[in-house]
Amino acid sequence: MNAPAAVADCPKSMTYGPCGGVGLDGRCEVAPHPCVFLHTGVIPWSGVRPDAAAPPTVAAAPLPDPVPSAGAARMRALLATRPIVVADFPARPVDAASIVDCAHELVGGVDAVLHGDAGQMRVQFPPAYRARLVQEAGLVSWAGVNTRDRNRVALEGELAALAHAGVGGVHCVTGDHTLTGSRPEARPVFDLDSTELASLAHRAGHLVSVAESPMAPPIAERAGRLLEKQHAGAEICFVNHSGGAELVAAFIGRARDLGVTTGFIPCLPIILSHASAALIRSFTELALPPGYIERILAAPDPVAEGVAAAIELGREFLEIDGVVGVDLSGGVDDGTEIEYARAVAAIGRALGGGTETN
């Protein structure tokens, strides 16, 4: 069966949509119309769509056989023993010193750091270089890779470099559109989408993670979409902010009923200030436990209260059947990266993270 083409009118040229950027009212994150995947049903995985309708005029050299990532093997071994703690990486963009300094603060507190990009940090070092800096500082890299900025050929090269670097995992996302965030003048690529990228990463020898947004429309099809990502090669699902433990457990239950066998890592909201609360609130698919933000911001010491709230919710997440870890996910105020990293490390240690994995 041939892979389907991209769905018409999707600004991200997705084949296996929708993305996680669908508004609660069904709106596309950048187009004036509703998401075009609202009524398509789940698109079954049938392979990566062709490069073009016409065959190439010059035969492409075959890719070498993939070398399984040694880092992926170590991460799978750790996952077989206990839940893990992953942390979104708070370092300043395109700043090697900040990357190293933040990594040093997190060593011993978390098992891996997830470094992708946020809207306000659209320009970053390439994933493989960031992974090298992170791992030389003593942390394990869980590298975020998106399809917004590179075509499939560049992505294949990036995945090969990440395998050589021995990253613990590769997180495959379609990525926010360039019209959101700090660089709206940049032309987006979107040669592939996250499901297709997961397939490439799996073939390149990685432990592959993907994201799913249970609170983003079409809600009823989110578990089925995850099943198709699993068919493409995903082993881990990061569950985007989706309320408290009860809602996360319900989503995992729906996925299990459909045959999903991936491990689940819920995103744990880290809020330590008004600025980090504003960032969390800006996520399109956001849902948090009732009163979570208000409790923290009303406290005499929001940092201490934010740490305590995260530890409490994290322990609830870790009790859910199917959860194999938590992701400490939030935003950092400019200039407070080190302080933020210290707080995240404290949360990670309290949740059992920090065992040596490399």
Separation between Cα atoms, residue 305 and residue 341, nearest integer Å: 16
pLDDT of residue 210: 98
Q: Give the number of other CB atoms < 10 A from CB of residue 170.
A: 31
**Tens-digit pLDDT string for the chain (358 aa):** 567 778 889 999 999 999 988 988 899 989 999 999 999 999 999 999 886 555 555 555 666 677 778 899 999 999 999 999 999 999 998 999 999 999 999 999 999 999 987 766 678 899 999 999 999 999 999 999 999 999 999 999 999 999 999 999 999 999 989 888 778 888 999 999 999 999 999 999 999 999 999 988 999 999 999 999 999 999 999 999 888 999 999 999 999 999 999 999 999 999 998 877 877 776 644 678 888 999 999 999 999 999 999 999 999 999 999 999 999 998 788 888 999 999 999 999 999 998 654 4
Single-letter code of the amino acid located at 341? A
pLDDT of residue 34: 94
115 forms beta bridges with 143
Contact predicate 309/295, CB 8 Å: yes
Crossing angle of the two packed helices 96-106 and 337-350, in degrees rounded to 10? 30
Measured in degrees and rounded to the nearest 5, phi and psi for residue 319 equal -85, -10
- Tokens 């041939």 correspond to 2
Contact predicate 83/324, CB 8 Å: yes
**Residues ≥6 apart with Cβ < 8 Å to 32:** none
User: Which token pair is 234?
Assistant: 């995903």
State the first-to-last Cα distance of the chain, in angstroms, to the nearest integer.
41
pLDDT of residue 138: 94
Question: What domains are there in the chain, each with its CATH number?
Answer: 71-350 (3.20.20.220)
pLDDT of residue 3: 72
Contact predicate 348/109, CB 8 Å: yes
pLDDT of residue 59: 58
What is this structure's pTM? Answer: 0.93
pLDDT of residue 358: 42
pLDDT of residue 23: 86
